[in-house]
């Protein structure tokens, strides 16, 4: 196995050679060569492997190395993705007062607000926030997403500068930007710039699903963040996930510049072969490949690619989204070949209401069939996943168009419960 400066990964690897394990998890490290192939590395808090709840050994050392790589003061490991990072950040923000957000946010933001009793204040854009906040301090913290699902970043220098001047906490959901810290070819990482940022290594890098970093720009928030991690995080963190995050950080710190130079070159070659069937969208992150199918159904194209053994990240409207990594960029010629000559059906007509009626969302929740939710008050943000951004908010009134749209898309809709709409009783 490769030697890396990855203390937690190395400790787990050493422990995997144990003669007998009479501890959790119950598979006792026995590999079946299939789904449980990683069982020897799936541990609990035994001697030498530290404890995520109060790290003092190899986990703490791994977190310190991650912070250095990310360019921030402190980094906390999380094994349950950016959702738990979001909830930790919201808990810190709630202690300071009113919470604001800019533009589209992931469902985890609104879910966390509901759990914590936060009524967030929305702003259309960074420019809108700066304009409204220059005169008065309306919120004590502001959340925003950068990069978005399509690889575009918020130009936030003025925003961060204003917030520092006014003492407003800045929180960046950089779930899709974990790789930014490892190549100068990529946009600037949020870590070290925003007061709090978080990223999911599993989305764009070679870590197991759930691996995430919560990054703090300075030491002032460290105790609070660790405290709220103890409250939100499972007490049984996956050592497979943590060890993979530690290894991933070490690998990309060592090889990241070459990895992304190779990905960029592979993308350029792909673009040189682009056919009339699609257009390559430009974005700030070249490792996020977005193909626009010119008004044709990307979902149908996605299914077609699956029949060829190729999986896209997502199909949204007439756009196909692909995440380019060191391990898949060699298959871009195969993708180009599969798409050559293929034309999906026109995109079905889809109309989103310009604005929705909104009312109080206070009271008990009820559950009704989607066919019966017209005119009812929505009590759980509803949208499509991916990308996980709600289009019907808590307190908004379901329309007849919503009923028709949800009935056709229940398989990719979040916010429903067992196929039912969550409404004010």
pLDDT by residue (tens digit) across 93-115?
999 999 999 999 999 999 999 99
Q: CB atoms < 10 A from the CB of 105, how many?
A: 22
285 and 243 together in one domain: no
Q: Tell me the average pLDDT across 415-422.
A: 92
286 and 231 together in one domain: no
Instruction: Give me the helices (H) in 117-193, please.
Output: 126-135, 157-166
Any domain includes 351? no
Whole-Å CA distances, 66 to 6, 86, 214: 10, 19, 10
Is the omega angle on the peptide bond into residue 66 within 30 degrees of 0, that is, cis? no
Q: CB atoms < 10 A from the CB of 33, how many?
A: 7
What are the φ/ψ torsions at residue 183 (nearest 5 degrees)? Answer: -155, 135
What are the φ/ψ torsions at residue 188 (nearest 5 degrees)? Answer: -65, 140
Dihedral angle, C-alpha 229, 234, 239, 242, nearest 10 °:
-30
How does pLDDT run across 180-215, given as a tens digit for each residue? 999 999 999 999 999 999 999 999 999 999 999 999
Final residue in a domain of this structure, among 192, 221, 253: 253
Q: Tell me the average pLDDT across 15-21.
A: 96
128 and 226 together in one domain: yes
Final residue in a domain of this structure, among 339, 357, 387: 339
pLDDT score at 354: 59
Any domain includes 2? no
CATH number of the domain within which 381 lies: 3.90.105.10
How does pLDDT run across 310-346, given as a tens digit for each residue? 999 999 989 999 999 999 999 999 999 999 989 999 9
16 and 44 together in one domain: yes
Q: Tell me the average pLDDT across 62-82.
A: 98
CATH number of the domain within which 315 lies: 3.90.1150.150
| Encoded tokens for 44 | 């609990």
Looking at per-residue pLDDT, the higher value among 356 and 416 belongs to: 416
- Three-class DSSP labels, 8-70: HHHHHHHHCCCCCCCCCCCCCCCCCCCHHHHHHHCCCCCCCCCCCCCCCCHHHHHHHHHHHHH
| Encoded tokens for 337 | 């070949």
pLDDT score at 347: 85
Any domain includes 284? yes
Cβ–Cβ under 8 Å, residues 233 and 78: yes
373 and 321 together in one domain: no
Any domain includes 391? yes
Domain, as residue range, for 380 = 365-424
91 and 222 together in one domain: yes
Exposed / middle / buried, residue 368 (Cβ in 10 Å: 0-12, 13-18, 19+): middle
183 and 215 together in one domain: yes
pLDDT at 238 over 70: yes
Q: pLDDT grade, residue 368 (50/70/90)?
A: very high
End-to-end alpha carbon distance in the chain:
58
Coil, helix or strand for 101? Answer: strand
194 and 157 together in one domain: yes
207 and 317 together in one domain: no
pLDDT score at 352: 58
Strand residues in 307-347 grouped as ranges (E) = 314-316, 319-323
CATH number of the domain within which 82 lies: 3.40.640.10
What does pTM read for this prediction?
A: 0.92
Count how many Cα atoms sit within 13 Å of the Cα of residue 293 in the half-sphere of its side chain.
24
CA 17 – CA 4 distance, rounded (Å): 18
CA 17 – CA 221 distance, rounded (Å): 38
The total number of structural domains that make up the chain: 3
Q: Tell me the average pLDDT across 351-365.
A: 75
Any domain includes 355? no
Looking at per-residue pLDDT, the higher value among 153 and 355 belongs to: 153
Any domain includes 142? yes
Candidate from 132-146, 274-288, 352-366 with smallest mean pLDDT: 352-366
Any domain includes 155? yes
Any domain includes 261? no
Return the CA Rg of the chain.
23
Handedness of CA 402, 281, 319, 276 (dihedral sign): positive
pLDDT at 351 over 60: no
Cβ–Cβ under 8 Å, residues 232 and 76: no
pLDDT score at 212: 98
334 and 376 together in one domain: no
pLDDT at 175 over 80: yes
Q: pLDDT grade, residue 274 (50/70/90)?
A: confident
Final residue in a domain of this structure, among 253, 288, 314: 253
135 and 73 together in one domain: yes
Percent of the chain surpassing pLDDT 90 = 84
Q: Tell me the average pLDDT across 33-54.
A: 95
CA 313 – CA 204 distance, rounded (Å): 11
106 and 236 together in one domain: yes
| Encoded tokens for 284 | 């700030």
pLDDT score at 359: 80
pLDDT score at 176: 98
């Amino acid at each position: 196995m490769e030697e890396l400066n990855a203390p937690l990964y190395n400790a787990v690897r050493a422990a995997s050679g144990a003669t007998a394990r009479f501890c959790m998890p119950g598979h006792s490290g026995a590999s079946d060569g299939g789904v449980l192939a990683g069982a020897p590395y799936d541990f609990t808090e035994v001697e030498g492997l530290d404890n995520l709840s109060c790290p003092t050994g190899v986990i703490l050392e791994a977190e310190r190395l991650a912070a250095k790589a990310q360019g921030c003061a402190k980094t906390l490991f999380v094994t349950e993705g950016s959702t738990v990072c979001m909830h930790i950040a919201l808990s810190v923000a709630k202690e300071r007062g009113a919470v604001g957000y800019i533009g589209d946010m992931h469902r985890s933001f609104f879910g966390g607000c509901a759990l914590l009793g936060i009524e967030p204040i929305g702003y259309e854009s960074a420019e809108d926030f700066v304009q409204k906040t220059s005169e008065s301090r309306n919120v004590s913290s502001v959340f925003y997403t950068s990069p978005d699902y399509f690889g575009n970043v918020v130009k936030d220098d003025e925003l961060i500068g204003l917030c520092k001047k006014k003492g407003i906490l800045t929180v960046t959901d950089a779930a899709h930007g974990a790789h930014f810290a490892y190549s100068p070819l990529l946009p600037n990482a949020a870590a070290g710039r925003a007061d709090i940022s978080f990223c999911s290594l599993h989305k764009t890098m070679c870590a197991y699903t759930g691996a995430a970093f919560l990054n703090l720009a300075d030491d002032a928030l460290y105790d609070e963040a660790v405290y709220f991690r103890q409250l939100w995080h499972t007490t049984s963190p996956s050592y497979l996930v943590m060890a993979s995050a530690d290894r991933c950080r070490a690998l990309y710190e060592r090889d990241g510049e070459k990895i992304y130079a190779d990905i960029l070159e592979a993308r350029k070659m792909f673009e040189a072969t682009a056919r009339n069937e699609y257009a390559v969208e430009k974005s700030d992150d070249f490792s996020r490949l977005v193909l626009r199918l010119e008004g044709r159904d990307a979902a149908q194209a996605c299914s077609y690619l699956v029949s060829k053994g190729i999986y896209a990240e997502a199909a949204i409207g007439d756009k196909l989204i692909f995440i380019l990594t060191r391990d898949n960029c060699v298959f871009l010629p195969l993708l180009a070949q599969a798409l050559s000559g293929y034309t999906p059906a026109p995109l079905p007509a889809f109309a989103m209401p310009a604005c929705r009626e909104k009312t109080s969302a206070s009271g008990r929740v009820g559950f009704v069939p989607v066919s019966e939710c017209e005119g009812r008050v929505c009590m759980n943000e509803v949208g499509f996943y991916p990308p996980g951004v709600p289009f019907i908010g808590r307190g908004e009134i379901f329309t007849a168009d919503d009923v028709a749209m949800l009935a056709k898309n229940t398989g990719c809709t979040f916010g429903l419960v067992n196929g039912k709409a969550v409404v004010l009783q």
